[in-house]
Structure formats: C-alpha cells, structure tokens
Structure 1
Amino acid sequence: MTASEDTLRFCRYGSSEEWKNVLELYDKVLDLKAAKITRPKGKEELIELDKWYQEELPIMINSRDDKHITHKEITKLMKWKLNRGKFRPRLAEMIQTNTEEAVVNASKKAFQCLPDLSAAIQALTVLKAVGPATASAVLAAGAPESAAFMADESMHAFPELVPLEYTLKHYNKYSELVRKTVRRLHKEEPEVRWCPHKVELALWTHVIATQLDGTMLEEVRRKRKKQEDNNKTNRKKQKK
C-alpha cells in the first residue's frame, strides 16, 4: 500500500483547518472500513471496539492513581487493533498468555517512563505478543498528548517511513515526524489542541477515505480551495 499524492500533500502542507475537516470524517470513514469486513457481525464489532478504544479506555486508564492497563483491557485492545488493521488470530491468542500482574506492572512502568517514548515502548514489549505497534496503542489510549498509535495507514503518509518496519527505531522516527506535524499545526493555529494521537487519526482517515471512497474528501477539497482563494484575495488587498 502506498499513500496517494493527495495524502502526501495533505500530510506535508495541509492547513490546520483542513486537518480538522478530515478528522471530523473519522467516524464515517470507520463505517466504510467496517462495511468491508466479511466476517459475521464483523462491522458491528469493529465499530463497538473502536468506540471503546477511543472513548472508554482512556477514561479508565486515567482514572487510576498509577496509570495502567489490565489483562482484560489489553486483550480487548489487541482485538480492536486486529479488527481495524490486519487480522491475525494468533496474536489474539498469544496476548492472553500474559498474567494480570505482568500486564499491570509493565504498563505502570511504561506510563511512568513518559515522556521518554523509547523507554515506555520497551517497558511494554516485555509482554508476550506486544511489539512496538501494540505498545504504542496502549500509550496512545492513556497518553494521547505523548504517543501516536503505529498504524500502517498513518505511517504510509510519510514517504521517509516506506518500506514499513515494526521496530522501536522505526516507531521513534514515525513519532518524531508526527510531533513535527503537531508543532506545525500548533504554530498555525495555537488555540487548537493538536496532539500525536489526533494527527495519527487524521492521517488514517485521509488514507482510508482515499482508498475506499475518494468522494468523501471532495467537500474537504472544496473548503481548501475556498480558503486558498480567500488567502490570495487578502494578500492582494494588503499589497494595495
């Protein structure tokens, strides 16, 4: 899979307003993705799991005195990850072989390591079936201001990351590119609270929308063209 030219342009040059417009399409694009699942009740399961991951899990993690994730939660998180991306049942089985104590201790240590992302990822990858991608999903849920989920689609928006590798080194490179994007968007529009997880979600949305139904981005493009025309008009007025 390679990102389209439009996605590459969006990633590198898209305005904060365009990024907001794309992010607002996330739920609709997720529905499109879910509709492609052929397993019985697969569509409903993905939508339900995503709502849990994006909305409920962050609250649960952050409600604890020592941030951590439980065995039940990391098992469910793996299910979400595999349903939203590449479905590999073996990983769903392997994640369950971790003990409750191991999961709690590893995740406590990981959140305590932040903002050192490398150390946080390494703290989680001691668990069975947990690589940098799954570790990043845990961190993005509990600390979206620090970590972006290592989604294939989001990484493909950065040509520097292709071909993809699922290593700590590659995650660090991806994370720095995401943080660079956060800084660019924040500089343009300081009042909007962009974070690594939101940037990752917007990139995922743009890539999947382009793949499954490019017409979903037509309104975003129309708004961008209108903004560009307004900017040109304003610059001409300032020169007079």
Structure 2
Amino acid sequence: MVQSTLLCENISADQFGLLLNEYGDLVEAISGTKPTKEGQRTLSELDKFRYETAVELFSSEEPQRAMQHDDVRSLVEWKLRHGKFRPTLMKLVASNDEDTVAHTLAGAMSTYWKAPDASKALDAIAKLKGIGPATASLLLSVHDPDRVIFFSDEAFYWLCNDAKPCPIKYNAKEYRDLNASALKLVKRLEVSATNVEKVAYVLMRKKHNDVVAPRQETPLLVSENGGSLSGGGGDKRKLQNEGDEITPPQPRRSKRGKT
C-alpha cells in the first residue's frame, strides 16, 4: 500500500522531490532486467530519448524540427519497454505511411499551439493506425512536457484511483480525468506534468511493487481486487475491453489495438 501522505492530494514538495530523484536509478535497475537483442537500444537509452532528446527537439511552438515516423517508433518502443508489452502495437504504428505521420502530427501541433487543448490534439493524433489516447498523449507530452502528462498505467493508478490498481479502458474520458488531476498537482507543487509522471512511476513500481513489478515478456494484468487475471473466458473478455493486453486486434475492429 502507498501510505496516505504520498497520495497525490497529500504529497508535499519535499516528498515529491525525493521520489523524483529515485527515477533514474529505478529505470537503470529495470533496464538491467530487460535483455536486448543486438542493435536494440536498452530501456535506459530509450528513456534518455523520451525525456531528453525528444523534449529538446520538439517541446516548443517552433521546434528544432518536425516529428517524423522514426521518432514515433522510438517513442512507442520506449512505451513498450517502459510499461506493458503489447506485441501488435509496433506493427500497427509502423504500418503508417511516413508522409501521413508527418502531416498528421504537424497539423495536430499547429492547432494545439494556437489554442492548447490536449483532448482535441489527442483526437487528431489518434487518427494514425495503432495510435490511441495513451500513445497519442505520449507524442503530445514531448511537445508540451510542462502541461501534458503521458497516459501511463502508473499515473492513472496514482492520480485517479488512490494509487490502487484498477481496470483501464484507455479512452478519451479517462485521459481527461488523468490530465485534470495531473494539472492540479502541477499547479499546487509548481512542477511539470512530466515529473508528475515520473513520480507516479516510482511510487507504483517501488512503493507498490506487488501491483506493478517490472514486466518482461508477459504484461502484469490486475483485476478489480488486485489479483492477477487468468486466461479464462470471462477474464479474456474483460481484457479485450481494457486495451487488448493479450488478444491481438481483429481486422474489423482495429481500434482495439490502440492504446
């Protein structure tokens, strides 16, 4: 259990800072448990791209350059290694045409910077194949890390469910609730949304590791009572409604592969 003083509505600036300082070491430790193939980047290397390189390149109304398909694939690879592994997601994202990716992202960000509205931007980005609200929030967050949080499981548990596991549908409404909660904490502690995301990750991975321990080949799935879900028929139907943790998307319902 996460102690009450560390819940999002109670956490102090000092506690927040201490937990944020643990993030780097935690990622290094998790990275060491995830073997990589030859030529594949480690989680630590992907983490540097996600939080440093990508932010430096894109976090401005006038970015150093526009985000391209290779950047999207790198961020999705980070998402898969940093959180839940979804075997079909990268294939879907990679199937997008490069020009379509560039055009869609450029249009979404042009509209966003004129009138920042995360929900509208996510809707525009999610027109790409394999991109649902969670992945769209990741792409948006590197453009505006101060005000936009990535829709991670850890952030949702901490900010929207008192640091307790719960089924997640990965839909637009859940993201609006998550981002609203994150912005309250951003305002209260005068921190960035990205750092809220990191602190949530530390809390849920270290302080509550019976719920979200580091994952490797198989994602950890939790039921409403905190137990792991089996592969039985009833649970399988539940999983299909929570982001397709196991079942690949069907041809006529490709949106199931989006997160």
* TM-score, shorter chain, exceeding 0.5: yes
Other structure's SS at 2:170 match: coil
Alignment of 1:63-142 (within 5 A): 65=62, 68-114=66-112, 115-142=116-143
Cα distance between partner residues in 2 of 1:138 and 1:7: 32
Cα distance between partner residues in 2 of 1:126 and 1:144: 22
Higher helix proportion, which one? 1
The match for 2:194 is 197
1:185 paired residue among 189, 192, 202:
189
The match for 1:46 is 43
- The answer to whether 1:159 aligns with 2:161 is yes
Consecutive unaligned residues in structure 2, runs of 5 or more: 211-259
- The answer to whether 1:208 aligns with 2:189 is no
Give, as a single letter, the amino acid of the residue that structure 1 aligns with 2:29.
L
Q: Deviation per CA, 1:24-73: give whole Å up to 9, x if none.
A: 11111112222332555799611111111111011222478467410111
Question: Does the 8 A contact of 1:34 with 1:44 survive in 2?
Answer: no
Q: Deviation per CA, 1:174-194: give whole Å up to 9, x if none.
A: 1001111112213xxxxxxx1
Identity across matched positions, percent: 28
Q: 1:120 to 1:9 in 2, by over 3 A?
A: same
Cα distance between partner residues in 2 of 1:41 and 1:64: 37
Cα distance between partner residues in 2 of 1:24 and 1:31: 13
TM-score by length of 2: 0.71
Q: CA RMSD in A?
A: 2.5
Structure (1 or 2) with the larger CA radius of gyration: 1
1:170 paired residue among 174, 180, 185:
174
Question: Does the 8 A contact of 1:32 with 1:212 survive in 2?
Answer: no
Question: Does the 8 A contact of 2:59 with 2:142 survive in 1?
Answer: no
With 106-115 and 123-132 compared, the bigger mean Cα shift is at 106-115
Cα distance between partner residues in 1 of 2:45 and 2:147: 25
Other structure's SS at 1:197 match: helix
Question: Does the 8 A contact of 1:107 with 1:124 survive in 2?
Answer: yes
Deviation at 1:140, TM superposition (A): 1.0
TM-score by length of 1: 0.76
Question: Does the 8 A contact of 1:121 with 1:132 survive in 2?
Answer: yes
With 198-207 and 152-161 compared, the bigger mean Cα shift is at 152-161
With 26-35 and 39-48 compared, the bigger mean Cα shift is at 39-48
Give, as a single letter, the amino acid of the residue that structure 1 aligns with 2:127.
V
